[in-house]
Amino acid sequence: MNYHFITIEGNIGAGKTTLAHLLARHFNARLILEQFADNPFLPKFYENPDQYAFPLELFFMAERYKQLKELIHTKDLFQNFTISDYLFTKCLLFAKVNLKEEEFRLYQKLFDIINQQLIQPDILIYLHAPVQKLQKNIRKRNRHYEQSIPDEYLFNIQQTYTNYIKQHNIKTLFVDAENADFLGNEKHLQAILDALEKDYSEGQHYLVLP
């Protein structure tokens, strides 16, 4: 394995956590999952975005930093690599969509201070799915505060992610996840495992699931 820190990213409902669980189980890796349910501002944000966007994003950034900073100080002798279902830069990308301009400038200053202290992943797996697929997955997992997320919001998040990946020279496995079923179709998971056997150069590399 060429990668010791793998991060999985994608839009809301793309299947990040499911794939992270499966890969961690396969590799016996340490698993870092976003604790979104602990954010008290999340349900309030979907009801009133203008009022709760800034505390929402600050809380997420603090919690993500708290989790990821342990990678710097903790060495697990039995698990020599880590899988996470979020990229710390996610803080900045969601903030760019959710915050007002003056709030975003302040948030970005805080982000830049924190981000330079963290370890960056060896490779990013980005799950790309159309908004219609995302909405289907969101309905299926049935979190009550997510059920009214508009298509436009998901599209804006999607565009922000893809623009960031294209503008930054991040080693990325860009996966077409329109028909992904990592739990029900063994070939889909195996395609990811096979792809991770390759030593990629910097930049984007594309994978279509069988």
Phi and psi (nearest 5°) for 151?
Answer: -55, -40
Catalytic residue check, 122 = no
Find where tokens 């797996």 sit. 125
Positions of E strands within the chain? 5-10, 30-32, 82-84, 123-128, 172-176, 204-208
Helices 16-27 + 186-195 axis angle, to 10: 70
Which residue in 38, 50, 76, 85 is the catalytic one?
85
CB 161 within 8 A of CB 9: yes
Alpha carbon distance 122, 108 (integer Å): 23
The C-alpha atoms of residue 127 and residue 51 are separated, in whole angstroms, by 30
Torsion angles phi and psi, residue 73, rounded to 5: -100, -15
Residue pair 205/172 in contact by the 8 Å Cβ criterion: yes
Contacts of 160 (CB under 8 A, 6+ apart): 93, 94, 96, 97
Tell me the C-alpha distance between 113 and 94, whole Å. 18
Catalytic residues: 85
